[in-house]
A and B are shown apart, each in its own frame.
Chain A
Amino acid sequence: MDAVVLDGITKTYAGGKILAVDNVSLTVKPGELFGLIGPDGAGKTSIFRMLTTLLLADKGTATVQGLDVVKDYRQIRKILGYMPGKFSLYQDLTVHENLTFFATLFGTTIEENYDIIRDIYEQLKPFSDRRAGKLSGGMKQKLALCCALIHKPEVLFLDEPTTGVDVVSRREFWDILARLKNMGITILVSTPYMDEASLCERIALIQAGSIMQIDTPDKIVHSYPVRLYAAKSANIYGLLKDMRDNAAVESCFAFGEYLHLTMKQDKGNAVADLEAFARQKGHTGIAVKEISPGIEDTFIRLMNQKNQ
Chain B
Amino acid sequence: MKKLGFLLQKEFRQILRDRIILVMIFAMPTIQLIILPLAANFEVKDIKVVVVDHDHSTLTQRMLGKLGASGYFRITGAVSSYQEALHYVERNDADVVLEIPVDFERNLVREGRQQVSLSIDAINGARASIGGAYLNSIIADFSQGTDLDIVRAAHPVPAGMPVINVTYNTWYNPREQYKYYMVPGIFVLLLTLIGGFMSALNIVKEKEIGTIEQINVTPIRKWEFISGKLIPFWLMGLIIFTIGLLVAWVVYGIVSVGPLWLLYLFAAVYLVALLGFGLLISTYSANQVQAMFLAFFFMLIFMLMSGLFTATESMPGWARTISALTPVTHFVKVIRMVMLKGSGFADVQLEFLYEIAFALVLNAWAVFNYRKTS
Contacts and interface: CB of A to CB of B under 8 A. Distances in A.
Interface in B202-223: 209-220
Interface string A95-112: 001000110111100000
Contacts of B219: 74, 77-78, 105-107
B6 A105 contact: yes
Interface in A85-100: 86-93, 97
B17 interface: yes
Interface string A140-184: 000000010000000000000000000000000000000000000
A77 B218 contact: yes
A82 B3 contact: no
Interface in B1-35: 2-3, 6, 10, 13-14, 17-18
B209 A52 contact: no
A80 interface: yes
A84 interface: yes
A52 B76 CA distance: 76
A91 B370 CA distance: 24
Where chain A touches its partner, the secondary structure class is loop
A90 B211 contact: yes
Contacts of A91: 209
B211 A88 contact: yes
Contact of B3 (A74, A92, A107, A147): A107
Contact of A88 (B6, B10, B213): B213
Contacts of A105: 3, 6, 215, 218-220
B35 to A, nearest CB: 31
Contacts of B213: 54, 82, 84, 88
A53 interface: yes
A93 B220 contact: no
B16 to A, nearest CB: 10
Contacts of A147: 214
A176 to B, nearest CB: 19
Interface in B169-219: 209-219
A151 to B, nearest CB: 8
A90 B14 contact: yes
B10 A90 contact: yes
A234 to B, nearest CB: 48
Contacts of B211: 88-90
A21 to B, nearest CB: 18
B3 A104 contact: yes
A65 B174 CA distance: 76
A140 to B, nearest CB: 12
Nearest to A153: B217
B33 to A, nearest CB: 30
Contacts of A89: 211, 214
A226 to B, nearest CB: 43
A125 B215 CA distance: 24
Given A90-B14, A91-B209, A93-B10, A84 B214 contact: yes
Contacts of B216: 53-54
A84 B3 CA distance: 23
A107 B217 CA distance: 14
Interface string A53-71: 1100000000000000000
Q: Which 7 residue pairs across A and B have the least CB separation, nearest first?
A: A88-B210, A104-B6, A105-B218, A82-B217, A77-B219, A88-B214, A86-B210
Interface of B: 2-3, 6, 10, 13-14, 17-18, 209-220
20 contacts: A53-B216, A77-B219, A82-B214, A82-B217, A84-B214, A88-B214, A90-B14, A90-B211, A91-B209, A92-B17, A93-B10, A93-B14, A93-B17, A102-B214, A105-B3, A105-B6, A105-B218, A105-B220, A107-B219, A147-B214
Given A93-B17, A97-B13, 10 more contacts: A54-B216, A54-B217, A82-B213, A82-B217, A84-B214, A88-B209, A88-B210, A88-B211, A88-B214, A92-B14
